Structure 1
Amino acid sequence: MTRLTRLTLTTFLSAGLAASAVAQETHPETGDTLAADQTFTYRILDNISSIDPQIVEDTDGSDVVRDLFEGLLNQDENGELVPGVATDWEVSDDKMTYTFHLRDDAKWSNGDPVTAGDFVYAWRRAADPATASPYQWFISLMSLENGDAVVAGGMAPEELGVEAIDDTTLEVRLTSPLPYFPQMVVHSTTFPSPQSVIEEHGSAWTSPENFVGNGAYVLTEMNPGESIVREKNDQYWDAENVILDKSVALIINDENVALTRYRAGELDMTDIPAGQFPRLRDEYGEEAHSFPKLCNYYYTFNLSESGPEAFKDPNVRKALALAVDRDIIVNNVMAGGQPPAYVFTPEATAGFNAPETEMAGMTQAERDAKAKELLAEAGFGEDNPLSFDMVYNTSEAHQKVAVVLSQMWKQKLGVEAQLSNMEWKVFLEERGNQNFELARGAWCGDYNEASTFLDLLQSDSGYNDGKYSNAEYDQLLEDALTAEDTAPLYTRAEEILAADMPVIPLYHYAGVYMIDDSLKNFPVNNIQFNWYSKDLYKAAE
């Protein structure tokens, strides 16, 4: 067995550092004078999908869930793994068995101990078709023993390759050695769940009056359309080192309204509206942030039986992709440092070598000419214009991008695209049920490896909303699970996507935020943008 012990050091180095922070009114490491009010208030766009770790499927919801629950491992400000409930782990020589050692002082917010059995219950729950987890497919991606069969309903959840050896020892058995497996247990799907609470309250277990979690905070308010409030959990094993008392997410659909409230001092953090970063950077200096994020922005074609017949022709899809001037979108519309995208996987992804696609090597004039040629070959033109509906979730930025896309297609190709927007939960449902023709999509990596993006377009992926299917593509990703060198496989996969064009990549994300100078330790260097309120604090101004 190979013993990995570096995680344990972090635990001891941080122990006791903040115990006297309140008494001293200074931060124990930086020496900053602490603000009297340790409340972090920030803006989110929509109601989140859930605070159930096995149900949540959006990034804003995952931010909340990371406060309310703690998994085996966390990430630090640079995205490196640090202890969570697990203090360290062992991995077998064949890389197929992981043994996680859990701290014995982890507790649920009701005072009950957190045990290895709570993780077993949660992972089985995520895999069980009866749970209907939107992230059920993540269990398959983890290559857990019997995971595919359990997810498909062919085996009982009890057959999943995860076992509590005792209360503080969790054994995980894989079918393929995944070098990035420890990164995967940072994801909310793998967080523990309180079995007795769920069995007592059913779906109502996540309401504030019933809620029990094991994170640094507990849920105290859930006001649909208004706010989500979590407050410090005194049962958390490291509560004495948690400085922020309260974390408040305000649901504000209008980005400009949110910016106004930031200017008024009502928010500590908010998204910068599309196109306004240069002006705000000039006005506010380093309060205006732009940094790389492990996310992509795209539009997906409905290639299922319910999708438009026109989209079955790859020439039509390529024509629409070619006619998009991405430089206008990133420089004039977004203007926040987002790089244009000609491949699906962000180039910042660890170990990823992006192929030189034909489209990327063309001038925009060449792309436009090729687009007209391809659309004509497909039978569309002035006498037979292509028309379709395109949908996006409600947001000023998404609306601006959609309008620009429709204008480009109209002016260059004579295409008629009818735009409509939907609220977040409705949008997710309609897209997941293939009730669309062309729909906005975006994905933030669940771990820093190309498969977190490429797996979305596998034939059987739970998030393959366009129902794209290519046998060679599927096989490449299957082969990558056991390949010593995945780079050529992933590069070839991107080449297939460039030829088939099941999605239109537009840009790769940048984190574009206003962050008040008093808010400290926000992890702008974590490319996955996984942040934890327990690591933040507010300095006195």
Structure 2
Amino acid sequence: MRASRLGLRVAAVVGASALVLTGCASGGGDTGDSAGTAIVTTNGSEPQNPLIPTNTTETGGGKITDSIFAGLVSYDAEGAYELEVAKSIEPNETSDVWTITLEDGWEFTNGEPVTADSFVEAWKYGAKFSNAQSASYFFDMIEGFSYDEDTELTGLEVVSDTEFTVTLATPEADFPLRLGYTAYMPLPEVAFEDMEAFGENPVGNGPYMLADEEAWVHEERIDLVTNPDYDGVRKPANDGLSIIFYATQDAAYADLLAGNLDVLDAIPDSAYESYEEDLGDRAVNQPAAIFQGFNMPYYLEHWSGKEGELRRAAISMAIDRAQITDVIFQGTRTPATDFTSPVVDGWTNELEGAEVLDFNPEEAKKLWAEADAIAPYGDTEFNIAYNSDGGHQAWVDAVVNSIGNTLGIKAIGKPYPTFAAALDDRKNDALTGGTRAGWQADYPSLYNFLAPLYLAGAGSNYEDYASEEFDGLIKEGTLAPDVETATSLYQDAQEVLLKDLPAIPLWYSNVTGGSAETVDNVVFGWNSVPLYHQITKG
């Protein structure tokens, strides 16, 4: 999501979210320069890459880059966007040229001013093919983008220090909604002197900054302090964040109960039965824009062509999602009926072909036998890779047991010690079976659940799914004259996915978390991430 972000009821929630945010803003403002009295400790994971915004597409790095950078817009708790560095974002009559004006006075923490160049040069770097940035596809709607060669983003033009224009290849009426995602953050000039070194000690313009040059202790933690010059909409009400990279969620939960951790955004499955009683009104269990499934790589024997199509459907129908969500997750998950999330506008549970997600042992066996008639599976082991530091073992074991018992094959889980290690094998086509493939939305839209994961060549399409029909429907959706038409086309695209099953949808996740008695004003956002800047301590 990230590997674990349009219109999440944007119009409907503006009134309610404004009330919440007004209260929080005034509370933060009352504290003035002395806001907060302590560092807030929270859980995280080792980032996959150096902290370059256009190369950070997973949750571990995302939590950090979202905290140390400020973009044109940011998102409130409900997923509605509000202007941050941007003073205005205005379209022409056809919504294919956008004029962006910046607020005066923004600076990076090294004193460099944040200008139109800061955004344009960062976006050009992120989009350039040879720079191999994992979020490069977020610029594919801008004129001049190329997936396979170095080209110039001709759609970006600097007008002045505080104004630039963006010309899109096709109209996009909801363009501003995506601009709070990390890929669209600005970069200071110093970044381009040595981008890799910059990623180890990034200089941002957000509410927090690295405590010092040794703040990031790899595989252990990263320490952030408040940026004294930040004056945006996310003014911190605390002194900073210490994000601890726990090896297991059980260890993090134990620290929460002991008062050694302030905020936890992932309750381990071992505590699902007890955590609400343990934490009382400090427990959180609310819907979030998170999809969970697993992927089967097309490069593996038995998993491509007609044989692969049959086996994918058989595997899906061999999984008793209802039982697993009840027994393992204790009501904190909901069986999936599509590839997106119920908290995003446009979601439906009435897609044609969704019956492939129902538990149907007899049909599963029938389809598996049809695949065996093409090429016998024999004694080949079926496995699902997962990262041990993410608390996935219990559900993976339950899924492979359901598959193995239904189809009469050997099915096991394959643990990796860290998310980074598991993702490396995905990126290098080194998997020996399936792989856990969750997605935490970057911004609240159906498009964001579909395009980054399944468009041919997209940055998070690690298993190399390719469908001209799917790609065509997604592209047509981006050209739609209104949200309703776009939603219908994205739903049609999902029906293609239900036939091809590049991913096997499992369930939608709630954010399950909690806080210690050491902190107050803990609010979890639409994407499951706490609004760190609002938290008070001491």
Give the TM-score taking structure 2 as reference length: 0.87
Task: Name the residue aligned to 1:21.
Answer: 31
* Structure 1 residues 340 and 275: alpha-carbon distance in aligned structure 2, compared to 1, 3 A threshold: farther
Task: Name the residue aligned to 1:340.
Answer: 335
* Residue pairs, 1:290-369, within 5 angstroms: 290-303=285-298, 306-312=299-305, 313=307, 314-358=309-353, 360=355, 364=359, 367-369=360-362
Task: Output the CA distance in 2 between the equivalents of 1:110 and 1:492.
Answer: 48
* Residue pairs, 1:468-487, within 5 angstroms: 468-484=465-481, 485-487=485-487
* Residue pairs, 1:129-528, within 5 angstroms: 129-140=129-140, 143-147=141-145, 149=146, 151-155=147-151, 157=152, 159-195=153-189, 197-208=190-201, 211-220=202-211, 221-238=215-232, 241-270=235-264, 271-303=266-298, 306-312=299-305, 313=307, 314-358=309-353, 360=355, 364=359, 367-379=360-372, 384-385=378-379, 387-395=381-389, 397-422=391-416, 423-436=418-431, 437-455=433-451, 456-484=453-481, 485-524=485-524, 526-528=525-527
* Structure 1 residues 469 and 240: alpha-carbon distance in aligned structure 2, compared to 1, 3 A threshold: closer
SS at match of 1:176: coil
SS at match of 1:469: coil
Task: Name the residue aligned to 2:5.
Answer: none
* Structure 1 residues 19 and 418: alpha-carbon distance in aligned structure 2, compared to 1, 3 A threshold: closer
Task: Output the CA distance in 2 between the equivalents of 1:243 and 1:42.
Answer: 15
Measured against aligned partners, the alpha-carbon deviations of 1:11-32 in whole angstroms (never above 9, x if no partner) come to 9999997555258x8x8xxxxx
Task: Output the CA distance in 2 between the equivalents of 1:240 and 1:424.
Answer: 29
Task: Output the CA distance in 1 between the equivalents of 2:352 and 2:250.
Answer: 37
Partner amino acid, structure 1, of 2:316:
A
SS at match of 2:100: strand
Task: Output the CA distance in 1 between the equivalents of 2:234 and 2:291.
Answer: 38
Task: Output the CA distance in 2 between the equivalents of 1:133 and 1:241.
Answer: 30
SS at match of 1:460: coil
Task: Output the CA distance in 2 between the equivalents of 1:383 and 1:204.
Answer: 48
Partner amino acid, structure 1, of 2:205:
N
* Structure 1 residues 476 and 251: alpha-carbon distance in aligned structure 2, compared to 1, 3 A threshold: same
Could you tell me which runs of 5 or more consecutive residues in structure 2 were left unpaired when the two chains were aligned: 1-13
- What is the aligned-residue RMSD (CA, Å)? 2.9
Conservation of the 8 A alpha-carbon contact between 2:119 and 2:184: yes
1:531 CA displacement: 4.8
Percent identity between the two aligned chains: 24
Task: Name the residue aligned to 1:75.
Answer: 75
Task: Output the CA distance in 1 between the equivalents of 2:476 and 2:233.
Answer: 44
* Structure 1 residues 316 and 105: alpha-carbon distance in aligned structure 2, compared to 1, 3 A threshold: same
1:123 CA displacement: 0.2
Task: Output the CA distance in 1 between the equivalents of 2:163 and 2:267.
Answer: 44
Task: Name the residue aligned to 1:3.
Answer: none
Measured against aligned partners, the alpha-carbon deviations of 1:168-215 in whole angstroms (never above 9, x if no partner) come to 1121111222233111110111100112x123344112334xx42111
1:388 CA displacement: 3.0
SS at match of 1:172: strand
Partner amino acid, structure 2, of 1:421:
P
SS at match of 1:370: helix
Moved more, 72-81 or 219-228: 72-81
Could you tell me which runs of 5 or more consecutive residues in structure 1 were left unpaired when the two chains were aligned: 1-5, 28-33
1:300 CA displacement: 0.5
SS at match of 1:448: coil
* Structure 1 residues 111 and 48: alpha-carbon distance in aligned structure 2, compared to 1, 3 A threshold: same
Task: Output the CA distance in 2 between the equivalents of 1:537 and 1:362.
Answer: 43
SS at match of 1:379: helix
Give the TM-score taking structure 1 as reference length: 0.87
Task: Output the CA distance in 2 between the equivalents of 1:438 and 1:536.
Answer: 39
